[in-house]
Structure 1
């Protein structure tokens, strides 16, 4: 596989910060208490993970749409249909701040990785795409698992 270009790698890693913050502020009451002196509860603990994760699943639908646009005919139509699944999943399944929504959000990211693999397998994604997506998804799922299991 080819090396992940620096800019997508750096932006992808920076995009993990809200997930990492969510897990850290969930695990540490002291950190959460400190943060609440500066931000609203929406930006601490599981709330930030849920809201940001929902945004990212929707964003990734747009990325997949762009991959679908590289295809033609029936594969393009199938790609467009598949590309909207992450956004619709987030909209219909992540409905509140419950453990169930966290589980559905994690499932959405796992499913997204399967969609990434499908687009990559068709040659619609860059050659380095799966290396980046596996790395980012593993960290996202670890953070969401922390919220679910603790």
Structure 2
């Protein structure tokens, strides 16, 4: 079972992604949000900015998992754990559509790393149940500006 705090915080972390997608799909909501919050907090911009932060944050989570390993397994885990942050730094940019595609791909690839750390017993037993659900919503929200 996913711990309640992890589940609630994970779900709360979806709010900026859902908000960004909603403001793309509803121009009226997007206009209201731009006036009330500012243009960087609506449309694809909020999802891209927040997604870049979260992808980088996930590097730190993976680094924490790597600390549970030893020797070569730990070194390999540390090396792999920096990939999401580097992915965000080097590949996310160039306009909202390409940034959304690269960022969504980063979250999909992150799942592969999640699975690897989980199989090695470095991630909690409930980790993949949480990550697959959250990632599905994140990727769907990031794709809204691509297809809208």
Matched with 2:118 is 120
Match of 2:97 among 91, 94, 99: 99
- The alpha-carbon deviation at position 38 of structure 1 amounts to 1.1
Q: Deviations over 1:15-64 (max 9, x none)?
A: 00000000000110000111122111110010001000000000000000
Across the aligned residues of Structure 1 and Structure 2, the Cα RMSD in angstroms comes to: 0.7
TM-score, L = length of structure 2: 0.98
Q: Does 1:143 align with 2:141?
A: yes
Q: Which among 72, 79, 82 is matched to residue 80 of structure 2?
A: 82
**TM-score, length basis structure 1:** 0.97
- The answer on whether the counterparts of 1:47 and 1:97 sit within 8 Å (CA) in structure 2 is no
- The number of equivalent residue pairs is 148
**Structure 2 counterpart of 1:49:** 47
The structure with more helix, counted as a fraction of residues = 2
Contact 1:50 1:97 in 2 (8 A): no
CA distance, structure 2, for counterparts of residue 24 and residue 102 of structure 1? 15
Q: Any unmatched runs of 5+ in structure 1? A: none
State the match for 2:4 in structure 1. 6
1:51-70 → structure 2 map (5 Å cutoff): 51-70=49-68
Using the TM superposition, give the Cα deviation of residue 97 of structure 1 relative to its aligned residue in structure 2, in angstroms: 3.2
